[in-house]
A and B are shown apart, each in its own frame.
Chain A
Amino acid sequence: MYSRAYKTLASLPPLLWVGLFLLLPYVLMFAHSFWTVREGAVVHEWNLSNYLTLISNPVYADVLFRTMRIAASVTLCSLLLGYPLAYYLSFHAGARKELLYQLVIVPLWVSYLVRGYAWKTILGSEGVLNGFLQYLHLTQEPVAFLLYSPFAVVLVLTHIYTPFVFLPIYAALEHIPRPLVEASQDLGAGSAQTFFRVILPLSLPGLLAGATFAFVLSLGDFLAPLLVGGASGTMIANVVQSLFGAAFDWPLGAAISVCILIITISLLFLSERLEKRWSFK
């Protein structure tokens, strides 16, 4: 057995770490959201004016809703890509399973920035895609909405987060005992019935975990809109960034952050409750 002193000593570094770099910033953020800026300085006066601004100025609500729309689109697209991929790998890939799995994982090792810039060169007006379309004489002018649009943001984020959706779904599918699939066929169910009655219900916890990843990560993303979003693709994190930077309104930025944090925590909480209800171990 370890002595009490040893235990206290051993748990001190992680506690300090969490306290210093997680709890303290949150407390500061929370406090800032009730303060104000006057003549270029943060004034420590407690009031709700930042939150009132958020409610009264429709710009913020617009950006927030757009952000949630984009996050929802990313979630849907990456599920539509990630689930069939995970299903194919788990049930039908045979000997190619390992290789394909690695191919899905490899993009995670490539820097986010590199992948973002790669999309710029593909989608831009002088980009690969527009060049190809014009070469085929399908279009005369470069197609403008490809880059600097919500579409581009959804595309890039889907590319980035699909592996995050794939992984938990793949893990859930791999955990389905194969005799269950055989039992279903044995009882007269074809492939489609077996999928909808056995495989899909048993993979729901993985699907939910993947969807939560995609949605929450997209919700707080600011790089993709910065690189390919343009004015129409601005997301809430970009607003926070500019409030903390150029606009120098930390209190308002903090208030928005608190709102995003509340949304995120509620989502995680809900998702965990549902995951528990849907798992049958």
Chain B
Amino acid sequence: MSSTAASAEHLLPASPAALLEVRGVAKRFGTRDVLKDISLNVASGEFLTLLGESGSGKTTLLRLIAGFEQPTSGQIWMSGERLDTLPPYKRRVNTVFQNYALFPHLSVRENVSYGLRVKKTSPKEIGGRVDEALRMVKMQEFAASRPSKLSGGQQQRVALARALINRPQLLLLDEPLSALDANLRKQMQSELKALQRELGITFLFVTHDQEEAMALSDRIALLRDGALEQVASPREIYAHPATAYTAEFIGQTNLLRGEIRRSIVTCGVLRWPLEDADGPATFSLRPEAIRLCSDGKRQTSEVKFHGTVRQQIYGGATELLEVDCGADQLLRVRLPASGLITGENDFVFTLADAIRVKE
């Protein structure tokens, strides 16, 4: 079953390549448990995204790793050394802040060189490395500008250069693209990904945007109410969501709630065979797993149903149908765009595409 594969992945013992190990970390603010017993490994060179709604604890986890907060219990290790007992300025971790947090009284060059200057690096080396960092983010010509004179995207680049110039083992990014408009965000996403590949630095990225998480990450750690819901690669988490929450959070889905009795699943008007114990069951069926069945025939591995198209939403390459299968059961169906579809139609989906999920 897919769910066991996914949950087994974060129960694995620390792999030798693990750069960061979060071991049973919990964080409580007053009476509120913001994080509950989080265990997570981040491999060296990995791009891992902490994904979750606001209030899920993703930013708190990032702040614990950066050192701005102390865990209530648990430990954090990096490269075989205890990290959570060190003050922030002694950690080989750098952060790109949500609103960039550039120093307003310093020029771009002074902002970028800040980390080297506080560590008393020689002026000669600072000069070379600042030029290199500014070149990397294509901001050489703005070296003398004040941050207030820059656009959001440019400030973003400066914040990246300022963090990366310190050659951190781990870069933390706290919703760095959320303040940018849609086009710029897409562009920065691909630049960020390219930069990460080129530098080979481990990125721990926080976002609430599941599309962004899918586009960038090697693995996604989905947080819900302070606990890890699922940790898996984007493909795995989309194709095999472990829980109903994951299935609905990542992409669109139809959640089918029904029950199994004598090896037959019944979800509203849909019925198909499944060898499993009797009891209630929930399935996730992606809209694109459903196809039109124009000839009315189905294979033995398929489920056929009859429904009325209530609404058709055109989306360029695809269109989304809302199909009423009777008894108030609405299913969303995504088809390749091919003109108007109305009235009653037959639809099919493959049995294997109905993914059993936990509630």
Which residues does A use to contact B, with CB under 8 Å?
Answer: 177, 179-180, 182-190, 193, 197-198, 201-202, 278, 280-281
**Inter-subunit contact A280/B94 (CB<8 Å):** no
Q: A193 contacts which chain B residues (CB < 8 A)?
A: 118
Q: How far is the CA of A189 from the CA of B95 in the complex (A)?
A: 14
Tell yes or no: B283 within 8 A of A by CB: no
Contact of A202 among B87, B101, B104, B146 (CB under 8 A): B104
Measured CB to CB, the nearest residue on chain A to B68 is A182
Q: How far is the CA of A214 from the CA of B175 in the complex (A)?
A: 44
Q: Which 5 A-B pairs give the minimum distances between C-beta atoms?
A: A187-B115, A280-B104, A179-B101, A183-B101, A189-B118
**Inter-subunit contact A186/B89 (CB<8 Å):** yes
Q: Nearest chain A CB to B172's CB is how many angstroms away?
A: 9
**Inter-subunit contact B118/A183 (CB<8 Å):** no
Tell yes or no: B119 within 8 A of A by CB: yes
**Inter-subunit contact B89/A180 (CB<8 Å):** no
**Inter-subunit contact B101/A280 (CB<8 Å):** no
- 1/0 per residue B75-114: CB within 8 Å of A? 0000000000001110001110111011111000000001
**Inter-subunit contact B105/A188 (CB<8 Å):** no
Q: Nearest chain B CB to A67's CB is how many angstroms away?
A: 34
Known: A186-B66, A188-B118, A189-B89. 16 other contacts (CB 8 A): A179-B98, A179-B101, A180-B103, A182-B101, A183-B95, A183-B103, A185-B67, A185-B89, A186-B94, A187-B162, A187-B163, A188-B89, A189-B114, A280-B104, A281-B104, A281-B148
Range class of the B interface residue count? 20 to 34
Q: A184 contacts which chain B residues (CB < 8 A)?
A: 103, 114, 118
Contact of B87 among A179, A185, A197, A278 (CB under 8 A): A185
**Inter-subunit contact A188/B146 (CB<8 Å):** no
Q: How far is the CA of A186 from the CA of B118 in the complex (A)?
A: 11
Q: A186 contacts which chain B residues (CB < 8 A)?
A: 66-67, 88-89, 93-95, 163
Q: How far is the CA of A185 from the CA of B166 in the complex (A)?
A: 13
**Contact A185:B88 (CB < 8 A) given known A197-B118, A280-B146, A280-B148:** yes
**Inter-subunit contact A187/B68 (CB<8 Å):** no
**Contact A177:B88 (CB < 8 A) given known A182-B68, A187-B115, A189-B118:** no
Q: B97 contacts which chain A residues (CB < 8 A)?
A: 179, 182-183
Q: How far is the CA of A177 from the CA of B114 in the complex (A)?
A: 17
Q: How far is the CA of A278 from the CA of B106 in the complex (A)?
A: 11
**Inter-subunit contact B95/A188 (CB<8 Å):** no
Q: How far is the CA of A43 from the CA of B93 in the complex (A)?
A: 79
Measured CB to CB, the nearest residue on chain A to B104 is A280
Q: B119 contacts which chain A residues (CB < 8 A)?
A: 188
Q: How far is the CA of A184 from the CA of B118 in the complex (A)?
A: 9
Q: Nearest chain A CB to B199's CB is how many angstroms away?
A: 18
Q: B114 contacts which chain A residues (CB < 8 A)?
A: 184, 187, 189, 197
Most buried by A among B67, B68, B89, B115: B89
Q: B102 contacts which chain A residues (CB < 8 A)?
A: 183
Q: How far is the CA of A182 from the CA of B97 in the complex (A)?
A: 9
Q: How far is the CA of A281 from the CA of B99 in the complex (A)?
A: 15
Measured CB to CB, the nearest residue on chain A to B112 is A187
Q: B166 contacts which chain A residues (CB < 8 A)?
A: 187-188
Q: How far is the CA of A58 from the CA of B130 in the complex (A)?
A: 59
Q: B88 contacts which chain A residues (CB < 8 A)?
A: 182, 185-186
Q: Nearest chain B CB to A197's CB is how many angstroms away?
A: 7
Q: How far is the CA of A33 from the CA of B253 in the complex (A)?
A: 88
- 1/0 per residue B207-241: CB within 8 Å of A? 00000000000000000000000000000000000
Q: A278 contacts which chain B residues (CB < 8 A)?
A: 105
Measured CB to CB, the nearest residue on chain A to B118 is A189
**Inter-subunit contact B68/A188 (CB<8 Å):** no
Q: Nearest chain B CB to A115's CB is how many angstroms away?
A: 37
Q: Which of B116-156 contact A (CB under 8 A)?
A: 118-119, 146, 148
Q: How far is the CA of A188 from the CA of B87 in the complex (A)?
A: 9
**Inter-subunit contact A177/B101 (CB<8 Å):** yes
**Inter-subunit contact A280/B105 (CB<8 Å):** yes
Q: How far is the CA of A197 from the CA of B104 in the complex (A)?
A: 12
Q: B68 contacts which chain A residues (CB < 8 A)?
A: 182, 185
Q: Nearest chain B CB to A277's CB is how many angstroms away?
A: 11
Q: B101 contacts which chain A residues (CB < 8 A)?
A: 177, 179-180, 182-183
